[in-house]
Amino acid sequence: MRRIVRAVGGWFDSRLKVRESVMPMLEHPIPAGAAGPKGWWYVFGSASITLLLVQIATGIGLALVYVPSTDQAYASLEYLNYRQPLGWFLRSVHYWSGSGMVVMVAVHMTQVFLHGAYKYPRELTWLFGVFLLLLTLGMAFTGQVLRWDADAYWGVGVGAAMAGRVPVIGPAIVELLIGGQTIGAATLSRFFALHVFVLPGLLLALVGGHLWLVLSKGISEPPEPGQPVDPKTYDAKYHELLKTGKPFLGDAMSKDALFSSLVVIAVVVIAALAGPKGPHGLPDPVLTGANPRPDWPFLWLFGLLSLCPPGLETFVMLVFPGLLVVGLLLVPFISNHGERAPSRRPVAVMAVTVAATTLAVLSYAGATAPWSPVMEAWSKDPVPVEMVRRSGPLELQGAAVFQNKDCRNCHALDGVGGRRGPDLTDVGTRLTHNQLIDQVSNGTPGGGNMPAYGKKVNPAEMEALAAFLGSLRPPGQPPARVAAP
């Protein structure tokens, strides 16, 4: 039996030359330091690739059932969730492994950054890495859209709004991205093509390039304080180092394999425990009472958006992410020589700490931000009984108008209702009659957070609204007065 296998193997190998070309790659020497205990720092890149393979395998499985059409996408996911045996598990693994991939890529980049491994001669490897990060995020974003639920619909909406702010060519990009003026059938087809053909193709090509660079430039040695990189002498030094190097196929390879297995097991366990994500609610504006949120890799961006004042939105939506990417791309050019050890690079350590904290805080803000209006509050949340009791006929009409015009969807009364705008329980103590009318007519100046109701509210409705809002004061508290000049 063994002999036959060998013979067949040999027949193929004498033609494919796998052993001749691949074995040397596997056996190429790596610095001895990277094969010791410090080698555990080097496992995150291969774990990312392992998860990518999981994504490809589960992704193919999903593509067999998923229907990329607006009227069937949602139903096909429900079919996977409830009817297809283990269909839910396939979806779950794909989601969690994708999340894991984002994590691994980020951790890998952080490690490379902290260890200064991007310095001479590995600048290009870093650049490939930055694009791999972007592509991974691109996969996460397009994948979330394929769920075609309320989250997806809304994610595309914000994405399009972002792209639309690009000067001059903005509208053209939007049209290209969503396939027309509005989010619809063409949008889903485009994102499907992106997620299944375009981005994975690019991703695999770049992974190939990235690996090629890793092989040809060699794995960086673990950083030692006091051994700065000097582009003039580095190559010779590294060559010298490899003389005592260890083959990759051995200790390093086993570490990679072990860690990758652990990561896959973790993904499988989480997938079984936590289950697939969504789909949450149909993407029909009339039907959703949902509170859409983007998937976690983008929460920070939405946290940022929800915190920023309207005037800064263009900057935050467009310029800021752009600057981040440019910053990452510039890293190896700003410092491609000098110390590599983190203990000698306080600025680098600070940068990582600050970035990680900022991302965590913004993600938290994004997860908790009362970002979107509560769609049903207008008809569902009763006007607090106390307010009704102390109202006269005009105020009662104002309260009904308040509900009727969807104000409640953004504004809570007594803590109940939407939280997009401030709770108006005591607004009568803050704003005078004229200020109230001004706020309702003009909304937030410059558009944005609160729509202008000037044209949607007739004079009688406005008078009733202002009377109702003006009466919203704790008992005995006088109405607001115009502040003395």
Partner 1 sequence: MTRRPSLPTLALLLLAGGCTPPGKPTPAGPSRPDEVTDFRTLYATNCAGCHGADGNLGPGPPPNDGLFLRIVADAELLKVITDGRPGTPMPAFDHGKGGPLTTRQVKIIAEGLKPTWGKPDPSGDPPGYALAPGGDAGRGMAVFARACAGCHGDRGQGGGSVDGRPVGAVNGPAFLALSSDQVLRRYIITGRPDLGMPDYAGTAGRPADFEPLDARDVADLTALLASWRTAPAGK
Return the HEC string of 49-118.
HHHHHHHHHHHHHHHCCCCCCCCCHHHHHHHHHHCCCCHHHHHHHHHHHHHHHHHHHHHHHHHHHHCCCC
Question: 189 vs 432, which CB is nearer to ligand HEC?
Answer: 432
> Can residue 311 be called a binding residue for partner 1 (CB under 8 A)?
no
Shortest Å distance, C-beta 345 to partner 1: 41
Collapse the DSSP code of 229 into the 3-class scheme (helix H, G, I; strand E, B; otherwise coil) and give the result.
strand
Q: Are 243 and 112 in contact (CB under 8 A)?
A: no
Cα–Cα nearest to 188, from 152, 218, 222? 152
Q: Which does 243 bind (CB under 5 to 8 A by kind): ligand HEC, partner 1, none?
A: none
Bridge partners of 229, per DSSP, are 338
Site for partner 1 in 421-480 (CB under 8 A): 459-461, 463-464, 467
Question: 38 vs 405, which CB is nearer to ligand HEC?
Answer: 405
Q: Are 180 and 173 in contact (CB under 8 A)?
A: no
> Can residue 259 be called a binding residue for partner 1 (CB under 8 A)?
no
Considering only residues 185, 265, 326, 354, which one is a binding residue for partner 1 as defined by CB under 8 A?
265
Question: 339 vs 395, which CB is nearer to partner 1?
Answer: 395
Residue with token string 């005009």 = 394
> Can residue 144 be called a binding residue for partner 1 (CB under 8 A)?
no
Shortest Å distance, C-beta 264 to partner 1: 8
Question: In the structure encoding, which two tokens stand for residue 470, read together?
Answer: 């003006």
> Can residue 396 be called a binding residue for partner 1 (CB under 8 A)?
yes
Question: 245 vs 398, which CB is nearer to partner 1?
Answer: 398
Question: 22 vs 287, which CB is nearer to partner 1?
Answer: 287
Q: Are 479 and 473 in contact (CB under 8 A)?
A: yes
Considering only residues 66, 89, 148, 302, which one is a binding residue for partner 1 as defined by CB under 8 A?
89
Distance CA 214, CA 44 (A): 14
Total residues interacting with partner 1, rule: CB under 8 A? 55
> Can residue 88 be called a binding residue for partner 1 (CB under 8 A)?
yes
Q: Are 390 and 468 in contact (CB under 8 A)?
A: no
Question: 247 vs 275, which CB is nearer to partner 1?
Answer: 275
Cα–Cα nearest to 136, from 297, 276, 362? 297
Question: 156 vs 436, which CB is nearer to ligand HEC?
Answer: 436
Name the residues that contact partner 1, by CB under 8 A.
Answer: 78, 81-82, 85-86, 88-89, 92, 264-265, 268, 271-276, 280-282, 286-287, 289, 376-383, 385, 388-401, 403-404, 408, 459-461, 463-464, 467
